[in-house]
Amino acid sequence: MKIGVSTASLYPLHVEDAFGTLCKLGVKTAEIFANSTAEGQEPIVSEILRMRDKNNVRITSFHPFSSPMESVFLFSDYDRRIDEMMTLYRGFFGSMNKLGAKIFVLHGAISSSKCAPAHYMKQFAMLSEAGREFGITVAQENVSYCMSGNLEFLKKMKRDIPEAARFVLDLKQARRSGENPLDYIKELGESVVHCHISDADENRDCLAVGAGKFDFETLLKAFADKGYGGALIVELYRRDYGEFSELKQSADNLAQLCEKLGIKYTL
């Protein structure tokens, strides 16, 4: 398992400043969250690449800001909008190749979009195929306000498009959906290729690792039992922690638990 931090945790810093801050903290594995189209293009991609190489950082994944647009673009029935989003995302795939990122995080259509499941599967499979052309895995994240917020829907994806269906487990989103995160691992198994990590307690569903009461040991054991080799990426909202150093400490806390359990990891 690879343990790291998402630049999303430092919002609203510009992505290159967020990534630079993670580098200064000593984070060696990172996810890039692009908060604008420009942040997935040149010259910003090359600036991140320079910092990546200088600080010997691994970039595992890329998460675009454009998720709210996916309902009316990618998952619509309107060909020109679909083509526009495919062009945008193909451009992001090219940038991911430069950065070395292999996982593209997708939110998908919101629950109120009235997207027919069959159409959703068709569109997701199309994007997945485009990703494969670049060596990229498109992975569906569970998001509470999206169609993907329902575990049964994700199970249907796995059944209907098994060659394409890959998933990102987000712990805080599972909590918001009223789901047990462990059920995602049990039901989706090896199709889970990426994970967004956060702690929680009775009052808050997103906290730095160690600041809450979530049972990470059971989670890590469940992943290990499935042979999980993906990343555990700390992704917090800025309001849910204090100093930036808590991000690195969250990653270190996960590493310490892996050591305790005898689970192989890299920071």
- Say how far apart CA 158 and CA 7 lie, in whole Å: 29
For residue 126, the model assigns a pLDDT of 98
Length of the chain: 267
- Say how far apart CA 233 and CA 198 lie, in whole Å: 9
For residue 100, the model assigns a pLDDT of 98
Task: Write down the pTM of the prediction.
Answer: 0.97
- Burial category of 182 from C-beta neighbours within 10 Å (exposed 0-12, middle 13-18, buried 19 and up): middle
Which tokens in the block code for residue 200? Answer: 């929680």
At 249, which helix (H) or strand (E)?
helix 245-261
Which domains occur in the chain, in start order? Answer: 2-261 (3.20.20.150)
For residue 200, the model assigns a pLDDT of 98
Residue with tokens 């919101």: 110
- Say how far apart CA 71 and CA 205 lie, in whole Å: 26
- Say how far apart CA 135 and CA 210 lie, in whole Å: 35
The per-residue pLDDT string of the chain (267 residues; one tens digit each, 9 = 90 and over) reads 999 999 999 999 999 999 999 999 999 999 999 999 999 999 999 999 999 999 999 999 999 999 899 999 999 999 999 999 999 999 999 999 999 999 999 999 999 998 999 999 999 999 999 999 999 999 999 999 999 999 999 999 999 999 999 999 999 999 999 999 999 999 999 999 999 999 999 999 999 999 999 999 999 999 999 999 999 999 999 999 999 999 999 999 999 999 999 999 999
Please, which residues have CB within 8 angstroms of residue 246's CB and are 6 or more apart in sequence?
208, 211
